[in-house]
Amino acid sequence: MTADDILAMLRRQTEEEISSVVIHCVSRAMLDAFRGKKRIMGMVSKGGAITSAFMLLNNCENPFIERFEEVLSICRKHDIVLSLGNTARSGCIHDLRDKMQIEEIRQNIALAHQAHENGVQVIIEGCGGHIRSDRIPKYVKQYKKQSPYPLFVAGPLPTDIAAGYDHIAGCAGGSMASAAGADYLCYITPAEHLGLPDPEAVRQGLIAFKIAAHIGDAAKYGKDARDKKIAVMRAALDRKGQNRYALYPARAQAFSDDGEECTMCGEFCAIKILRTFL
């Protein structure tokens, strides 16, 4: 594989009418900074690892950086949104933010400036991977202070122990990141770390991250009118009305029983008791 092959593939894919493409702009300096580091998980980005291996094997700079103007002209021609990848993201919550991550964000912001000046829209991938929950809002806010460009987060996963349920762990991390200012969530499926997801796993992952996006939007933009509507219906014990405002009405309906109150508390329904006595 040569740098020409890489650029030719980028050109071919953009001609196939994709709308966005990820490139990893890891630099030689970043790889040097990475070498001596004691990360448990090393590098966990597939695109970043392939790009890094190409650079190390050929003892060269990153062709996406060296030929960035060419990349931009390809993207501009087809109105492609350029996503600047997160090679340096951490692969477990014990691998803390290091020089490589900080340098990647700084460099991606500089490349994003250049892209914007050349009429190409950009999303920057950062603050993704595995990050302990108390650090997620901090990292997102730091990015937002530094950068005017939309932030894409993969997950993040606030714990490493949820294998088989990583869509739930990712929903928790994605909600925190989104509420703190992240603009674009990359969903995670229950098969994460384990295998290729089947269609049902994909569906479960998307549901989890639609919920995360809604939680984040309520915090960022006050997009909570639907929450209010469902609460009003719930307070009125309007079971069918409540289900209508659920994110997945058919799912809510499938769990619903027929009584005025539900069978969770039955005759001890708090709403009914207080309606009677207040």
Among 29, 60, 265, 274, binds ligand SF4 (CB under 6 A): 265
Neighbours of 103 (CB within 10 A): 17
In whole angstroms, the minimum distance from the beta carbon of 267 to ligand SF4 comes to 9
Contact between residue 56 and residue 31 where contact means Cβ atoms under 8 Å apart: yes
Please report whether residue 207 would count as binding ligand SF4 according to CB under 6 A. Answer: no
In whole angstroms, what is the distance from residue 226 CA to residue 78 CA?
37
Residue 3: Cβ within 10 Å count: 17
Choose which of 70, 160, 224, 261 interacts with ligand SF4 (CB under 6 A): 261
Q: How many residues bind ligand SF4 (CB under 6 A)?
A: 7
CA 224/CA 247 separation, integer angstroms? 12
41 DSSP 8-state letter = S
Q: Which residue among 264, 276, 277, 278 contacts ligand SF4 (CB under 6 A)?
A: 264
| Binding flag, residue 252, ligand SF4 (CB under 6 A) | no
In angstroms, give the least distance from the CB of 233 to ligand SF4.
Answer: 11
Which of 221, 268 has the CB closer to ligand SF4? 268
User: Interface with ligand SF4 by CB under 6 A: which range of 128-136, 153-161, 178-186, 262-270?
Assistant: 262-270
Residue by residue, DSSP assigns 142-211 as HHHHH--S-EEEE--BS-S--TT-HHHHHHHHHHHHHHHT--EEE---TTTTTS---HHHHHHHHHHHHH
Calculate the alpha carbon distances from 162 to 92, 209, 250, 271 in Å: 12, 16, 27, 35
Angular region, 76: left φ>0, alpha ψ -120 to 50, beta rest: alpha
Task: Check binding of 238 to ligand SF4 (CB under 6 A).
Answer: no
The answer to whether residue 206 forms part of the interface with ligand SF4 (CB under 6 A) is no
Does 278 participate in binding ligand SF4 (rule CB under 6 A)?
A: no
Q: Which one of 144-152, 211-219, 220-228, 263-271 is the stretch in contact with ligand SF4 (CB under 6 A)?
A: 263-271
What is the closest distance, in whole angstroms, from the C-beta atom of residue 172 to ligand SF4 in the complex? 23
Residues that bind ligand SF4 (CB under 6 A): 261-262, 264-265, 269-271
